[in-house]
Amino acid sequence: MKVQVIEKKKGRINRTTGEVIKGNLRVCAYARVSTEKEEQLNSYNSQLKYYEEKIKSNNEWQYVGIYADEGITGTLDYKRDGFMKMMQDATDNKFDMIITKSISRFGRNTVDTLKYVRLLKEKGIAIYFEEERINTLEISGEIMLTVLSTMAQQESKNISSHVKLGLQMKQKRGELIGYNGCLGYVYDKGTKQITVNYEEAEIVRYIFERYCQGVGCTTIAKELTNMKYKTPTGKKKWHESTIRGILKNEKYKGDVLQGKTYTTDPITHRRVVNMGEENKYYIQEHHDPIISERMFNQAQEILQKRGGVRGSGRRKGNFSRKYPFSSRLYCGFCGSLLTRRNWHSGTKNSIAVWHCMEFVKHGKEKCPYCKAMKERIIEEAFTESYKLLCNNNKELIQTFLNEMGDIIQEKSNESSIKRLEEEKQILKEKIDKLIDLNLNGTISLEALQEKKAKLQNKKSTK
């Protein structure tokens, strides 16, 4: 028996034809900096210049280009446009080798780093990490890469931990961290202070006053849309969720709650609502309020009442005023509330019906005898019942209406007095602030007198 050794071909092999690829090695570079600080951007520009000169100075290399990401984290690959463009070009066989400074520049997520290295390796494309001196096409390359990638990922976690600790220390000192802006306030990045935007503050007061008067979030949203006020994001149409978010925001009574959300993992950067897993920091009297604490607390009580209590992650005992029959219709078989639904929604045959909530959530086995009732039939039945009641009990109805009228008038007067007192207090605070600004030299005496006269005039009309 005779064995003949067919020696391997020298050079790069074309995986399609099996022929040796002639010509220079097509080389590109990848550069990245993770922050937009000036010193990092200088490093970024230096990297671009360095790799261009390095590749062009090698006679055996052909310069293809440089892929780069500026001010982007290395833990999330899909956020790096330059990186993803490079991977697409690799799929299209536009280069043979990638040069990059280090594993941490290529990526700090071990799983993703190895995934892309193996993907490129299958296509015969090498990655050369300069600091570690690793070529991924060599036998020992992937072993070393796995170890060093894990170290890079751990380094990313350590940095995240240190940053998190620093932010917590600032929050303990009462500094405002991660402020994204809110309607009614202006944020000064230099002083990190928020001040009242008086024009937008009127919208905020309108929302709280209307809600405390019993108007629902959906109705308030429609009113603001019709009044052509812009939303906090500058859009024309208001939504119920936007109103609800404003009503829950403690900043409008002058306080700040920090730590409402937290990052679960420094690699995925996923943020979730803080349910007690991390510390929260509540700062009282942090800035000037737009509405009183009494009105804010009143709004929270109404929100809690309408939102109901939560059990097993689901809302029960929900109180709503979105529709005329909301929270007023009950199933005759199981006793649960009826919920409004739309059959054939989005079509010309759309029909509003009311259905047992237990049936909707858990199926027929929970309420086997329930059937959906058309809203039109319920409205007609209510109208007929009301007519019968009025015809047969006129004296009772009149007595009821008289008593309700007295109660509504009494509450309305009380509410108006409280609202006027709050408005006067706010105007007084504005006058005091103007005096402080004059004493600090921020505004002139003439401007103080002019603005003070306007506020005094407004106050006297209340």
Contact between 183 and 204 (Cβ < 8 Å): yes
Average pLDDT of span 71-80: 60
Report yes or no on whether pTM surpasses 0.75.
no
Average pLDDT across the chain, whole number: 78
pLDDT of residue 418: 67
Of the pLDDT bands very low, low, confident and very high (cuts 50, 70, 90), residue 20 is confident
**Which span out of 18-22, 253-257, 264-268, 410-414 was modeled with the highest average pLDDT?**
253-257
pLDDT of residue 107: 72
Percent of the chain with pLDDT over 90: 11
What confidence score (pLDDT) does residue 458 get? 62
Compute the average pLDDT of residues 343-372.
85
Flag whether pLDDT at 436 surpasses 50: yes
For the cut 60, the answer to whether the pLDDT of residue 39 exceeds it is no
Q: Give the least confident one: 11-25, 116-130, 283-297, 408-422.
A: 408-422
> In the prediction, which pLDDT does 396 show?
65
pLDDT of residue 74: 46
What average pLDDT does this structure show over 117-143? 80
CATH number of 177-310: 3.90.1750.20
Q: Which residue has the higher pLDDT, 216 or 320?
A: 216
In angstroms, how far is CA 20 from the centroid of its own chain? 54
Percent of the chain with pLDDT over 70: 69
Residues 269, 290: Cα–Cα separation, whole Å: 34
Q: How many CB atoms lie within 10 A of CB 127?
A: 23
Is 309's pLDDT higher than 50? no
Rg (CA), the chain: 34
Is the pLDDT higher at 207 or at 264?
207
Domain ranges of the chain: 25-159, 177-310, 323-384, 393-460
User: Given a cut of 80, is residue 339 above it in pLDDT?
Assistant: yes
**Beta-bridge partner residues of 263:** 271
Q: What is the pLDDT of residue 312?
A: 41
Task: Could you please state the CATH topology (level 3) that the domain comprising 25-159 is classified under.
Answer: Rossmann fold (3.40.50)
Question: How confident is the model at residue 115, as a pLDDT?
Answer: 79
